[in-house]
Amino acid sequence: MKPLEQYKKFPPSRYMGSKNKIIKNLYEVFSQIDFSSALDLFSGSSAVSYLLKSMGKKVISNDYMFFSSNISKSIIENSSVKLTNLDINQLLKVPKNYDKFVQQKFKGIFFSKNENDFIDIVRNNIKKINNKYKQSMAMSSLVKACQKKQPRGIFTFVGKRYDDGRADLKKSFETQLIEGIKVFNNAVFNNKKKNKSLNNDFTKVKEKPDLVYIDPPYFSKHSDNEYVRRYHFIEGLTRDWKNIQIQENTKTKKFKKYPSMFDSKQGSFDAINYLIKKYSKQIVVISYSSNSLPTFNEIKKIAKNFNKEFNAIKIPYTYSFGTQKKRGDIKNTVKEYIFIIK
């Protein structure tokens, strides 16, 4: 199957920063580079990892968000395991005694009592599955169901004030879960390579393949890059809320964001400098938005400082985002680029 045909099976998501809309542009760039192995250092939705796997590359997919690395374990590292109808029946079976953490901790916040009960039933049953890939696929499907049932797919607000009438919001959790399982099952394939899923801070990744793809959570003056704030519920769900300290005084019961070099302007500059230096012997491909820091010219200068060849491809795609001000939304037009540093 051709790479872009295989990519059509990628499970769609509402993940912030997903590169799904520019995947054809990335495919054109990757197709012009000679490499056999790749590291997707900030994998997010796993869209680019899935593209690289579809192209027959050996893929190492990494993200510091556990729910993101769980997705890549399901469809990048996993090459053959799928959930069966028997597995689905076991996931839906009501246990005699089970942990009701979601019902108790998130009562009246995102979902109804019955929906919270459903989440608890499935999360308890996932623990009983004795195959790590089936576990990751079941959890990824549950995460997908939670996002489908939540307006905007994020967990920064209480209630349904952003209910836009989408059909997804009206479907039951059980329907969403089963549909999600079908989507993830359909996405599983074997590219004859030993692919790997990692859950590390980018500074702790040791692997150095032929090509490194970098799409970090850039610091920006106009928007925030707090993935934990947006996705704390599904991150906690995937972690089973272990080693997480919930901020009980918050309306959404979120927890503290993970520390990152990209939390500040200087830190973001230092991070890009660190990455280009660390992977000086690899081909580095960077996705970049014009509203991000460091600036276009600063990244170009960093590459030149390490005697690297710098090429920038402007993508014929722009989008707008709003930033909250007292007088309402201010729309900002953003341009996308792909940097090739080698």
Entry field: residues in the chain? 342
Tell me the C-alpha distance between 327 and 325, whole Å. Answer: 5
pTM attached to this predicted model? 0.94
Burial pattern 256-295, b for ≥16 Cβ within 10 A else e, equals eeeebbbbeeeebbebbbebbeebeebbbbbbbbebbbbe
The number of domains in the chain is 1
Distance of CA 229 to the CA centre of its chain: 14
CB 268 within 8 A of CB 261: yes
Q: What CATH number did the domain enclosing 321 receive?
A: 3.40.50.150
Q: What is the pLDDT of residue 325?
A: 41
> Residue 149: CB partners within 8 Å, gap ≥ 6?
111, 115, 168, 169, 171, 173, 176
- pLDDT for res 223: 61
pLDDT for 34 equals 98
Amino acid letter at 12? Answer: P
Residues 6+ apart with CB under 8 A from 186: 9
Phi first, then psi, for residue 269 (nearest 5°) are -60, -45
Give the closest residue to 215 by CA, choosing from 141, 287, 316.
287
Q: What is the DSSP string of 193-219?
A: S--EEE---GGG-----SEEEE----B
Residue 22 three-state SS: helix
Mean pLDDT by 10 residues, the chain (342 residues): 97 82 96 98 97 98 98 98 98 96 97 98 97 98 96 88 80 97 98 98 97 92 76 98 95 93 94 97 96 94 96 79 42 83 96
Nearest partner of 94 among 75, 118, 70, 71, judged by Cα: 118
Domain that holds residue 137: 3-341
Dihedral, CA of residue 292, residue 59, residue 201 and residue 110, to nearest 10: 80
